[in-house]
Amino acid sequence: MNPKILVIGIIASLGLLFGGLLWMSRPVAKPQVLATSTGKLTASETSWDFGTVSMAKGVVIKKFSVTNTDAIPATATKLFTSCMCTKAVLWVNGKEWGPYGMPGMGPAIPDIAAEIAPGQTAEVEVTFDPAAHGPAGVGQIERQVTVQQNGQSSLTFNIRALVAP
């Protein structure tokens, strides 16, 4: 093979490689994300103590009311719990969003688009299974349920219980 052609081929290949790298590292305009205005969900009660809960007696449930206190619709975008022993459902106008659990444990927690009208009240139903952790789960527990809101800070509900056999 002719050495001149080989050198030209190598130089051309290096030129294409560096040109491609330069092209790939160029600044690219990012799409502009438009801020969406949304109402705000609030709750007058954000914590609950179940007291002593027996593993043998099964699950316990607490319902928290949430209200859109703004003049425009509020959108809940995600609902999840802090532990696999806890599940949460959001009820809006009879429609059920969930049950959802802990991220990373089981199926992925999907994004939701639960719209709550101005002044409307919805419900977050929290279910705690005291037997979910087996005998190692005996004792004081604290868990959280989080409702993420589009454009607003998250709303967190706390539950506590003393788990007995």
d(CA 144, CA 126) in angstroms, rounded, equals 9
Show contacts of 135-139: CB within 8 Å, 24+ apart.
135/165, 137/55, 137/85, 137/163, 138/55, 138/163, 138/164, 138/165, 139/163
**Any domain includes 21:** no
Tokens of 36: 């969406």
Q: For residue 124, what are the domain limits?
A: 41-164
Q: What is the pLDDT of residues 78-131, one digit of tens each?
A: 999 999 999 999 999 999 999 999 999 888 899 999 999 999 999 999 999 999
Instruction: Give me the CATH number covering residue 143.
Output: 2.60.40.10
At residue 17, the pLDDT reads 56
At residue 48, the pLDDT reads 98
- Confidence tier at 32 by pLDDT (50, 70, 90): very low
Give the number of other CB atoms < 10 A from CB of residue 38: 20
Residues in the chain, overall count: 165
d(CA 121, CA 41) in angstroms, rounded, equals 9
Q: What is the pLDDT of residues 45-93, one digit of tens each?
A: 999 999 999 999 999 999 999 999 999 999 999 999 999 999 999 999 9
Q: Measured on CA atoms in the order 165, 140, 65, 39, is the torsion positive or negative?
A: negative
Q: Of residues 4 and 163, which shows the higher confidence score?
A: 163
Which helix (DSSP H) or strand (DSSP E) does residue 88 occupy?
strand 86-92
d(CA 156, CA 160) in angstroms, rounded, equals 13
At residue 33, the pLDDT reads 38
- Confidence tier at 27 by pLDDT (50, 70, 90): low
For the chain, how many structural domains are there in total? Answer: 1
In the DSSP assignment, the letter for residue 82 is S
d(CA 80, CA 12) in angstroms, rounded, equals 55
pLDDT at 36 over 70: no
**Any domain includes 119:** yes
- Confidence tier at 14 by pLDDT (50, 70, 90): low
**Any domain includes 155:** yes
Q: Of residues 77 and 34, which shows the higher confidence score?
A: 77
**Any domain includes 99:** yes
pLDDT at 35 over 50: no
**Any domain includes 15:** no
**Any domain includes 13:** no
Predicted structure pTM score: 0.75
At residue 19, the pLDDT reads 57
- Confidence tier at 31 by pLDDT (50, 70, 90): very low
